[in-house]
């Protein structure tokens, strides 16, 4: 079994599910390869306002890259091809202009942690376990991944995670800023669904503009595209949703945003 990346939709909320349960959702070459296309499909679907990443089953979000493939995929020239494949997957996830939430239970290790770090928001069950263990495998960790980790948890915590390769529990992950909130395992899915619905009810163009600003401000100053930010803000002011928001406020009713 090579595992599968499944896409499910429920109104404005889409689920991206990593399903390889016999290996704790370890992500395979086929699954990495499927990510860019899945992201593009969700980006192009005007009905989708929020995307949630989840792991199938009860044991793991994603327990890492599938090590059983490493001798074939991560040595010599094959290793460079593999690195390019994962880089495309991470770039695709980071380019999504809609809110991306990681709903994390159980193991979130290595490649799984890297996938979770592409999300805008990360919520964990109290049984979640995180680790960044390339030091246990002799792998080099790429600069882009280290930069993302630094941006989220800082230099010292990044050094700790990379040097020790130790596992971090949910409460410590919350303490160092790796996740936004921790929920009891039995209430994680419902809590994340409720938060996603809250986001989906807000003005889509405003959310998109905010995410574009966050994406650009996370870059080095010389790499930022101020024009992209300004265009997204102007689009909000010119939108029908802005008019609807003002009318709804004055009429003391809930606005009905359409993303236009």
Tens digits of per-residue pLDDT, 131-144?
A: 999 898 887 888 88
Same domain? For 219 and 132 the reply is: no
Identify the band that residue 83 occupies on the pLDDT scale cut at 50, 70 and 90: confident
Co-location of 80 and 32 in the same domain: yes
Interval 155-189: pLDDT, tens: 999 999 999 999 999 999 999 999 999 999 999 99
Residue 192 sits in a domain of what CATH number?
3.90.226.10
Asked if residue 235 and residue 144 are part of one domain, the reply reads: no
Answer yes or no: do 173 and 210 share one domain.
no
Q: Could you tell me what percent of the chain has a pLDDT over 90?
A: 85
Q: Is residue 216 part of a domain?
A: yes
Looking at the structure, do residues 237 and 180 belong to the same domain, yes or no? no
Q: Do 193 and 85 reside in the same domain of the chain?
A: yes
Average pLDDT taken over every residue of the chain: 93
What is the pLDDT at residue 82?
Answer: 83
DSSP SS3 for 160: helix
Confidence of residue 75 (pLDDT cuts 50, 70, 90): low
> CA–CA separation, 260 vs 249, rounded Å?
18
Q: Does the residue 260 lie in any domain? A: no
pLDDT at 69: 72
Query: Which of 93-97, 144-148, 154-158 has the lowest average pLDDT?
Result: 144-148
Rounded to 10 degrees, the C-alpha dihedral 232/195/172/55 comes to: -100
> What confidence tier does 76 reach under pLDDT thresholds 50, 70, 90?
low
The distance from CA 75 to its chain's CA centroid, rounded to whole angstroms, is 28
Look at residue 158 and tell me if it is in a domain: yes
pLDDT at 109 over 80: yes
pTM: 0.92
Q: Show which of 174, 199, 224 is a domain's final residue.
A: 199
Whether residues 120 and 16 share a domain: the answer is yes
Domain count, the chain: 2
Please check whether residue 259 lies inside any domain of the structure.
no
Indicate if 15 and 142 belong to the same structural domain.
yes
Question: Is 157 a domain residue?
Answer: yes
- Residue 181 β-bridge partners: 123
Residues 154 and 230 in one domain: no
In a shared domain, residues 88 and 208: no
**Same-domain pairing of 190 and 214:** no
The CA distance from 141 to 257, in Å, is: 42
* 126, pLDDT greater than 70: yes
Overall average pLDDT of the 57-63 stretch: 95
Domain that holds residue 227: 203-250
For residues 50 and 198, the answer to whether their CB atoms sit within 8 Å is no
Is residue 36, in this structure, part of any structural domain at all? yes
Instruction: Let me know: does 257 contact 203? Beta carbons within 8 Å.
Output: yes
* Assigned domain for 235 exists: yes
Residue 7: count other Cβ atoms within 10 Å of its Cβ.
17
Residue 257: inside a domain, yes or no? Answer: no
Q: What is the pLDDT of residue 73?
A: 61
Q: Helix (H) and strand (E) counts for the chain?
A: 11, 10
Q: Are 195 and 211 in the same domain?
A: no
Instruction: Name residue 182's beta-bridge partners.
Output: 124
């Amino acid at each position: 079994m090579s595992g599968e990346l499944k896409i499910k939709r429920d109104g404005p909320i889409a689920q991206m599910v990593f399903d390889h349960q016999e290996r704790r959702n370890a992500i395979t070459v086929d699954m990495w390869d499927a990510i860019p296309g899945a992201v593009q499909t969700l980006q192009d679907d005007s009905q989708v306002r929020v995307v949630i990443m989840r792991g199938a089953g009860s044991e793991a979000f994603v327990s890492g890259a599938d090590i059983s493939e490493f001798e074939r995929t991560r040595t010599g020239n094959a290793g460079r091809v593999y690195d390019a494949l994962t880089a495309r997957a991470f770039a695709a996830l980071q380019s999504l202009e809609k809110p991306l939430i990681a709903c994390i239970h159980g193991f979130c290790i290595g490649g799984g942690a890297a996938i979770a770090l592409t999300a805008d928001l990360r919520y964990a069950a109290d049984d979640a376990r995180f680790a960044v263990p390339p030091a246990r495998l002799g792998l080099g960790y790429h600069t882009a991944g280290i930069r993302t980790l630094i941006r989220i948890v800082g230099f010292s915590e990044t050094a700790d995670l990379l040097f020790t390769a130790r596992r971090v529990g949910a409460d410590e992950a919350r303490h160092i800023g790796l996740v936004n909130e921790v929920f009891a395992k039995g209430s994680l899915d419902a809590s994340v669904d409720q938060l996603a619905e809250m986001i989906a009810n807000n003005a889509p163009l405003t959310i998109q503009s905010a995410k574009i600003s966050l994406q650009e401000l996370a870059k080095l100053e010389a790499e930022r595209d101020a024009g992209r930010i300004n265009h997204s803000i102007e689009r909000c002011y010119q939108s029908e949703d802005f008019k609807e928001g003002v009318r709804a406020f004055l009429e003391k009713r809930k606005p009905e945003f359409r993303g236009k």
